[in-house]
Structure 1
């Protein structure tokens, strides 16, 4: 029997045995590679990982030259159409629509997407995560093109999209008490509206109460105040109190950039981790992307209080940033999880870039191993979420599996499967994904969603957004001036 015999989008009835040349299973002391092994799933959980299962099964599927791995956990998963791509070759941010100009604020910020477009982009992004072997995601979207924060309606649609596609998610509408505003060329100042932030938090808390645990636990609540420099002390104190009450994690972007460092120094006279430490808010509940601008003292505070760092090496590296360093954080006892946070949402590519940047940061090839990177994308994410049933293949764990095809020509020659996949640096060899025992992706297809048609819709939607960039760019220059082509362009009308 082959994977084609299973119904896409459904949990196969009875026990299913998946055999592959390689299985990354959880042993007594950590992950271990099993050669010519079998994984048996029953319902939503793993029943067996090892040699041939002696009990009865409804079906056996031989995947051949493949790796069955725990599905990836992405704690900064892109859930919109990525506007950071526009910034790769277009800087500085204040001149390229990355920070609101004062004139735009005075006119009144507005939503640049319709409710239907907001719902579509999340479903499209969720499908892309599945294509890349990601089984658990904490979505993130930019607020630059929003009127202020995210809405309850769009997250109702996002939760339903996750249920429809079969993706495990940690969700909650993003909110903030302020934002950075460009008041003159290169001059950025915080604009605060705390009552609006508190209102956003109240709506987010109500959303979490309503959706937490839906879909037999596929939907989990998450509190997502936007960026630390857009938050006030009362907003953060209230956020953590509600998260404690509801048993939900808090994700707060901090120690991630120069703009933040300058804003924090201006407002509080310290770094963001130091500010949270003063308030007593650092704890294992906190998930903190990206730490690329963290000081040694910041990282010591993270280690002392059990804060998890979400490492997003691809998007950081694109803009000259890097974690200093993966090896140092690990040695200090800081839990490191992984995020994609950009297009493509390719976790394997991120692991490859992360491996390279970690070695560059320390100027030595043994600074971090492929195994350590893979562990961050699985067990590291599970630890950040406080989940012992995710990020591993072991009896009783959730049946969240990713199957990677090692017969692909780009994966030759194959050596150790983990090293081979990270050296290959592409999630395009993801053959299938099971989430909670459900076959959520197979051979580039997800149930009930036409990816080819969605690709065209996504491009049209993104082009419409770009057309509005002059409204929120300093001086309101035309799009051609904001985003000139990489080389002089001629339309040959062939």
Structure 2
């Protein structure tokens, strides 16, 4: 019964329904949501009209689906750096010897296509209904390819995920010598060719799959982009009305390289060249200054907060409440494995309180960022909320195994995780029921993903300074005992 949107109406009921009225989320206890076609017809505590189908979820939260502005779409190599650093010694920066020999693709086209589909299924499992994919370019020959994004579009259409797609491109990269001196290297012609290919792809895919697939532009990271690339990106994206995502203000190395290249801080440079606009999405902001936050607010750009991946490596946004007080729109991105938006919100709460105190942020503030903040970033008043006329993008979170507080959002922040996701609806289509996604063999896909990841790890010496063996790059937690 999950082959697509049903004729007639479907009524969903649960102990808790997070609806939307007057510009804010509201909570209906013992509430209902009625789906008709691809949209929400009604949200409230009852419904008198006829329906074709009823599903009662009982002790659960019926929530708007989450919007992930920085959604992992590959096999996450950042987890390999969790206890292994510094990054330049552990294959996270290309050594000169690797560059001189010639960077190569470490995955096959078939593996890249599988990874997108596998990642999209993980997003759905975690209640993410709208995603802007992100992948690392460290293991790529240069940028992402149109071919793999053609495959990504096909996977998204098949699985039912709402996505904004665009291959990542860049005009430069980072290179290290064996002493850890990192410098930037550029090939602007190659980067501009990547932009041209991305623009052609954007014009072809924008609006397909009944509007669920839209275009985006993804220049990789600010220190790997020239001004010409970013200015041309801004012009093309503005003409198309497409969002642009640019990673910036996330590391000391980035700050050093941008200041060395341009004599100022990253977001300040982006503003100076006229590229910082209201359609721009900026992960991560953990290194941004007060003056840069002011520039983001003035441009009405969106700050994409990725608290889990930042906290894993000792960073945090300083600070979530201060950025909001400046009038900055904040959305969330998972940007790591697992793609657990609930965990991401929980870590966001904790780090905000560590930075500013326990009263600085409340549960609803982080929940707003995961829903309404993403919708505002994409200029989509029909996403991130459950109200008549909105898209029927819905996450159903099972609370039967949680110790519930008197408030469902606070329960999510204290007791739930992505593993509690039960059902997901996108565009009125039930894309997951009782944790099962049609056409996806979760166990087989997990094994295939692990085999590909193990193969990538085996190649790490090629792109690690000094080319040490894998056992020296990734040191074990405890001594290995072998027979």
Match of 1:337 in 2: 331
CA contact (8 A) 2:346 2:414 kept: yes
Computed over aligned residues only, the root mean square deviation of the Cα atoms, in angstroms, reads 0.8
TM-score by length of 2: 0.99
TM-score by length of 1: 0.97
Of 257, 274, 278, the residue aligned with 1:263 is: 257
- Paired residue secondary structure (1:446): coil
Of 7, 22, 40, the residue aligned with 2:16 is: 22
**Structure 2 unaligned regions, length at least 5:** none
Match of 1:48 in 2: 42
Of 462, 480, 485, the residue aligned with 2:453 is: 462
Of 46, 59, 62, the residue aligned with 1:65 is: 59
In structure 2, C-alpha distance between the alignment counterparts of 1:29 and 1:81, rounded to whole Å: 37
Of 357, 364, 382, the residue aligned with 2:351 is: 357
Match of 1:387 in 2: 380
In structure 2, C-alpha distance between the alignment counterparts of 1:274 and 1:421, rounded to whole Å: 37
Task: Tell me which stretches of 4 or more aligned residues in structure 1 moved more than 6 Å.
Answer: none
1:33-83 CA-partner distances (Å, limit 9, x unpaired): 011111000110000001221211112211111111100000000000000
Q: Structure 1 pair 180/425, CA: closer, same or farther in 2 (3 Å)?
A: farther
In structure 1, C-alpha distance between the alignment counterparts of 2:477 and 2:112, rounded to whole Å: 29
In structure 2, C-alpha distance between the alignment counterparts of 1:73 and 1:97, rounded to whole Å: 31
Match of 1:369 in 2: 362
In structure 2, C-alpha distance between the alignment counterparts of 1:44 and 1:201, rounded to whole Å: 33
Q: Are 2:308 and 1:314 equivalent residues in the alignment?
A: yes
Q: Are 2:267 and 1:276 equivalent residues in the alignment?
A: no
In structure 2, C-alpha distance between the alignment counterparts of 1:100 and 1:226, rounded to whole Å: 16
1:160-309 aligned at under 5 Å gives the runs 160-309=154-303
- Paired residue secondary structure (1:445): coil
Q: Give the C-alpha shift of residue 272 in structure 1.
A: 1.0
Q: Are 2:138 and 1:144 equivalent residues in the alignment?
A: yes
Q: Give the C-alpha shift of residue 421 in structure 1.
A: 1.1
Of 394, 407, 410, the residue aligned with 1:401 is: 394
* Greater Cα shift, 128-137 or 277-286: 277-286
Match of 1:421 in 2: 412
Q: Tell me how many residue pairs correspond in the alignment.
A: 483
* Greater Cα shift, 482-491 or 372-381: 482-491
Q: Give the C-alpha shift of residue 414 in structure 1.
A: 3.7
In structure 2, C-alpha distance between the alignment counterparts of 1:11 and 1:450, rounded to whole Å: 22
- Paired residue secondary structure (1:433): strand
Q: Give the C-alpha shift of residue 9 in structure 1.
A: 4.3
